[in-house]
Structure 1
Amino acid sequence: MTEVTGVQPVLQGNTGMVETLKKMREDAYGVCAQCVGRPVQVETIHGETIQGTVANVDDHHLYLEVAQVDARGYYYNNVILPLVLYELLVISLLA
């Protein structure tokens, strides 16, 4: 195996940005942990809006159970969508 010398970063976040992202992730984790088992609507930084039930949350991801429709028009709820915590903008509880 070839040893790499003189590694040169091409992208490195500044300290303030890294700390802000960590804080956002911690805040999102705290909120999501309280929403396990509850129906929510999530908006991401990419402009996506997704509705589902919070199945689980860990230090980095929200696991959202989303309803799917098969070709015959039947709904089933066994699809789990992992979402990165620091990409979440809004989490709204649904009635």
Structure 2
Amino acid sequence: MYMNPSQHPGHQGSQVLYQAEPDWQHQMMHKRNAIMGAVHPHVGRTIRVTTIDGHTYEGVLVNVDGHHAYLHVTPHAQPYDHHRPIYTPAQFQILTLVLFELLVILLLA
């Protein structure tokens, strides 16, 4: 059941800074599941991803879970956004991309 945050008990005098549309959650879950279903069969293959912010990354898709795509990228081969979380043991980097931020996903090999 949808309830305005200002109507929740214990929130007297609180000010709503942002409130999503009531159907937003359903739409976002639908889009996230569609993206996951499209890319999951291609784990282990090389892809190119463009995010909604215009960043483009290329690498091997190593995993997809309910929220993220994990891309194995070669060091120094791409202009990384250094604010993104990157797991970097020795010579290997995994770039974590949020599924609902992905705009275009191309299968390369």
- Would you say same fold, with TM above 0.5? yes
Q: Which residue matches 1:27?
A: 34
Q: Which residue matches 1:63?
A: 70
Cα offset, 1:8, TM superposition: 3.5
Give the % identical residues: 40
Q: Which residue matches 1:9?
A: 16
Q: Does structure 2 conserve the Cα–Cα contact (< 8 Å) formed by 1:43 and 1:50? A: yes
Q: Among residues 48, 52, 56, which one is paired with 1:45 in the alignment?
A: 52
Q: Give the total of aligned pairs.
A: 87
In structure 2, relative to structure 1, the CA distance for the partners of 1:5 and 1:19 (3 Å cut) is closer
**Which consecutive unaligned segments of at least 5 residues does structure 2 have?**
1-9, 77-89
Please say which of residues 37-46 and 25-34 is displaced more in the overlay: 25-34
In structure 2, relative to structure 1, the CA distance for the partners of 1:77 and 1:94 (3 Å cut) is farther
Deviations 1:50-75 (A, max 9, x none): 10000101100000110103xxxxxx
Instruction: Give the number of the structure whose residues are more often strand, by fraction.
Output: 1
Cα offset, 1:18, TM superposition: 2.7
Work out the CA distance in 2 between the residues paired with 1:5 and 1:25.
Answer: 31
Q: Does structure 2 conserve the Cα–Cα contact (< 8 Å) formed by 1:65 and 1:77? A: no
**Please, what TM-score do these two structures have when normalized by structure 1?**
0.80
**Which consecutive unaligned segments of at least 5 residues does structure 1 have?**
70-75
Equivalent position amino acid for 1:29 in 2: M
Q: What is the aligned-residue RMSD (CA, Å)? A: 2.0
SS in 2 for 1:90: strand
